[in-house]
Amino acid sequence: MKQTLFTGAGVALVTPFCADGSVNYDKFAELMETQIANHTDALIIAGTTGESSTLTEEEHIEVIRFAVEQARHRVPIIAGTGSNDTAFCLCLSMAAKNVGADGLLLVTPYYNKTTQKGLVSYFSLIADEVGLPVILYNVPSRTGMNIAVDTVAELAKNPNIVAIKEASGNISYAAQVIERCGDQLDVYSGNDDQIVPLMSLGAKGVISVLSNVIPQQTHDMCAAALQGDFATAAKMQLEYLTLINRLFIEVNPIPVKEAMNLIGMDVGDCRLPLCPMEEKNRVLLADALRTHGLIS
């Protein structure tokens, strides 16, 4: 059995920005402390929700370093370091290791893509060279390619590849991965609307956008599922389903940052090309937040 990086709710943490567009480290520390106080089980830094694609290389490394220092080993820090440039991915992943990250989240190569054989070579090279626990990230809606079940099973043989963040939305695919890989690979839901369904099949938790807004409730939902109380977990999944859907009414992380700003968390705007929400969608998002008493 391999090392499990975490069980429960890991937050795909937003990167807060100042009015001038720079990273707001004071706010970043505040967000981290809020997550830890509300029992979030892991912090995923500089992932999709953290706007990694518009962070400079220096910013990318610095936000990981800052998160490691702020966390002080209270929760695992998992660094998003995947790229479509293998050499750059290796450089960024080594930098994350050197500043103390506990694990890596590696997305499949996007735009240039590759073959399934290429995926095995790409993930294996990073895992072997860096030596940190690796979470594969399967999100074909963003990258244009899916990691085949046979490919996942092959990668699961690598001692440093410990998990997959499954965000294809295909529950049958997730079930096949769990069945094929067993205790050689942990599975995390990459979709907040499928936390409980995937955990009922054996997933260990979620890498969550929702946790940015309601961290304690997301943790509690996962905790109930981990304890086998799927009646309670399913009730919570359905209770927050409309809010989850509204958090993806436009491309992530536009809605979650807007939600956090509406709540008063002041995380700033997204960097272009991500732009402010359409007003009609902002109204729908605000209604969902109001339903749960998050705004008045």
Q: What is the CATH number of the domain that holds 77?
A: 3.20.20.70
pLDDT for 99 equals 98
3-state helix/strand/coil string of the chain: CCCCCCCEEEEECCCCECCCCCECHHHHHHHHHHHHHCCCCEEEECCCCCCHHHCCHHHHHHHHHHHHHHHCCCCCEEEECCCCCHHHHHHHHHHHHHCCCCEEEEECCCCCCCCHHHHHHHHHHHHHHHCCCEEEEECHHHHCCCCCHHHHHHHCCCCCEEEEEECCCCHHHHHHHHHHHHHHCEEEECCHHHHHHHHHCCCCEEEECHHHCCHHHHHHHHHHHHCCCHHHHHHHHHHCHHHHHHCCCCCCCHHHHHHHHHHCCCCCCCCCCCCCCCHHHHHHHHHHHHHCCCCC
pLDDT for 240 equals 98
**Is pLDDT above 90 for 3?**
no
Look at the block and give the residue holding tokens 């820090």.
77
Active site residue 137: yes
The answer as to whether 90 is a domain residue is: yes
The answer as to whether 258 is a domain residue is: no
**CB-based contacts of 124, cutoff 8 Å, min separation 6:** 155, 158, 161
Q: Which of 82, 179, 88, 74 is closest to 123 using CA atoms?
A: 82
User: CA 177, CA 179: separation in Å to the nearest integer?
Assistant: 5
Active site residue 235: no
The answer as to whether 201 is a domain residue is: yes
pLDDT for 275 equals 97
The answer as to whether 277 is a domain residue is: no
**CB-based contacts of 120, cutoff 8 Å, min separation 6:** 151, 154, 155
The answer as to whether 237 is a domain residue is: no
User: Model confidence over 176-229: pLDDT tens digits?
Assistant: 999 999 999 999 999 999 999 999 999 999 999 999 999 999 999 999 999 999
Q: How many domains does the chain have?
A: 1
Give the type of residue at 245.
N
User: Model confidence over 252-289: pLDDT tens digits?
Assistant: 999 999 999 999 999 999 999 999 999 999 999 999 99
**Is pLDDT above 80 for 94?**
yes
Output the six-digit token pair for 68: 């490691």
Q: What is the mean pLDDT of residues 156-160?
A: 98
The answer as to whether 240 is a domain residue is: no
The answer as to whether 26 is a domain residue is: yes
User: CA 47, CA 293: separation in Å to the nearest integer?
Assistant: 28
Marked catalytic residue, from 27, 165, 204, 257: 165
Which structural domain range is residue 143 located in?
Answer: 8-229
Marked catalytic residue, from 137, 173, 188, 240: 137
Instruction: State the CB neighbour count (10 A cutoff) for residue 273.
Output: 8
The answer as to whether 59 is a domain residue is: yes
Percent of the chain clearing pLDDT 90 (strictly above): 99
Using DSSP bridges, classify how beta strands 8-12 and 205-208 pair: parallel, antiparallel or unpaired.
Answer: parallel
Q: How far apart are the first and last CA of the chain?
A: 48
Report helix angle 86-98 to 57-71, nearest 10.
30
User: Model confidence over 74-92: pLDDT tens digits?
Assistant: 999 999 999 999 999 999 9
